[in-house]
Amino acid sequence: CNCGPGKYVKTKCTSTQHAVCEPCAVGAYSSGTNKDSYCTDCTHVHCPSQAFFKSKCTPKADSVCECNEGY
């Protein structure tokens, strides 16, 4: 009854049917196996001016900003 990373539960499982999973939309993610009915919004759409993207948001992982050297 779970969905894998990068997906959410669109329709819950029953005793006769598996859960229906859908991929996360752009700007959202699900990092692990889950029973969630939604994906989580990405934390950073843009990094602050003194930072850069260490990794951008993907359907399976949140975005991570890292400070520039000296900040």
Residues 6 and 23 sit within 8 Å (Cβ to Cβ) = yes
pTM value is: 0.80
Topology of domain 7-67 in CATH is Tumor Necrosis Factor Receptor, subunit A; domain 2 (2.10.50)
For tokens 């990068």, what's the residue?
6
d(CA 60, CA 70): 31
Q: Which residue has the tokens 């779970």?
A: 2
| pLDDT tens, position by position, 6-58 | 999 999 999 999 999 999 999 999 999 999 999 999 998 889 899 999 999 99
- Parse the chain into domains and list their residue ranges: 7-67
